[in-house]
Amino acid sequence: MPFAPLKNDTFLRACWRQATDHTPVWLMRQAGRYLPEYVATRAKAGSFMGLATNVDYATEVTLQPLDRYPLDAAILFSDILTVPDAMGLGLSFEAGEGPRFARPVRDEAAISALAVPDMDKLRYVFDAVTSIRKALAGRVPLIGFSGSPWTLACYMVEGAGSSDYRLVKTLMYSRPNLMHRLLEVNADAVATYLNAQIAAGAQAVMVFDSWGGVLADGAFQAFSLAYTARVLAQLRREGADGHPVPRIVFTKGGGLWLQDMRALDCEVLGVDWTVNLARARSLVGEGKGGKALQGNIDPNVLFAPPAQIETEVAKVLQSFGKPHKDMQTNGPTHIFNLGHGISQFTPPEHVAALVAAVHGQSRALRA
């Protein structure tokens, strides 16, 4: 597939723990409702799924944050819940209510009936990946993504977001074998889905384990981490243009399990704001087999005035410390991001201040 050569490879270099002249930055949910141009395109599309399933709209909104800010990566505009939707659960997004499944999976019969969906049902996602790659024309790399098997299971069993995870944990504790069967199907579906994104042009892939952190120690390793590992084991190593594709795993609330996650076959670990980056770096960032770290400023920092945002950016950069500078070897690297998705109430000018602060300060940190 003839895609344009990459002009800014800072993000990919940092994923591979290679030296860069600044710390790359992108933001989880960088395309979203805090941008008035996103709200306008969404109104034209009629609904969130109308936006996500239309290749031209999905391409347009993916590029919107890049036209405003000098971000170092783009992320596919879609949602993690497209996979269970393709499994037949009936996804809808009610205005102001978040996602909902018409047919949640709660008993043995429903779990036995689950299978890896026909990827043709997700063709709109792969078409969007290729379209976005073309529209980017090599400006920055494109990240594809999926939910983790556990995080998808939370939505599939609960049927919507949850504050206590009662239904999914009831299933896990009372029928662990059924839970394992659900997670196996999810892992194989996620791997097939990510491989199709890679074949369509994704240059890195990220697994969002947004709800891994709600599990007990022990349960996390058995019901979340083991299935993320099962996904990683099945991923293609090479992208559409023959370049290797780095893999990012983000576990919200996973800071206490970094040593377990060091064993994952991935290049980057995403961390939330509860994690001390210096400590994370010493646990997983150094040496052979070390991981790049991605994160981790509190998204609520973006509600403070620009001067305070700059101070908070400095704290995060200094907490990681100097990335290594030897262009010939691999060593600790940092990819700046939020610790979770950006809020819809964020003032867009504050994002500009954050991105400028990361670029400016991280260059100075290397001097």
Binding residues for substrate: 29-33, 79, 155, 210, 340
Counting contacts by CB under 6 A, is residue 157 touching ligand CP3? no
Contact window for ligand CP3 (CB under 6 A) among 4-12, 17-25, 78-86, 258-266: 78-86
Rounded distance, CA 270 to CA 249, Å? 6
Asked if 33 is an active-site residue, the reply is yes
Rounded distance, CA 96 to CA 256, Å? 33
Exactly one of 33, 103, 123, 175 is catalytic; which is it? 33
Collect all residues with Cβ–Cβ distance below 8 Å to 359 and sequence separation of at least 6.
22, 23, 25, 70
Contact window for ligand CP3 (CB under 6 A) among 27-35, 120-128, 133-141, 311-319: 27-35
Q: Which is nearer to ligand CP3, 6 or 61 (CB)?
A: 61
Q: Which is nearer to ligand CP3, 31 or 214 (CB)?
A: 31
Exactly one of 9, 13, 17, 29 is catalytic; which is it? 29
- Structure token pair of residue 224: 């979340």
Counting contacts by CB under 6 A, is residue 75 touching ligand CP3? yes
Q: Which is nearer to ligand CP3, 248 or 277 (CB)?
A: 248
- Structure token pair of residue 198: 């890679």
Footprint on residues 290-329 left by ligand CP3 (CB under 6 A): none
Strand order in the sheet with 268-270: 74-75, 142-147, 204-209, 247-251, 268-270, 292-297, 334-338
Asked if 29 is an active-site residue, the reply is yes
List the beta bridge partners of residue 336. Answer: 25, 295
DSSP 301: G
Rounded distance, CA 35 to CA 240, Å? 31
Asked if 42 is an active-site residue, the reply is yes
Counting contacts by CB under 6 A, is residue 208 touching ligand CP3? yes
DSSP 239-267: -TTS-B--EEEEETT-GGGHHHHTTSS-S
Counting contacts by CB under 6 A, is residue 148 touching ligand CP3? no
| Active-site amino acid positions | 29, 33, 42, 79, 155
What is the contact surface with ligand CP3 in residues (CB under 6 A)?
28-33, 42, 48, 75, 77, 79-81, 93, 98-99, 145, 161, 208, 210, 340-341, 344
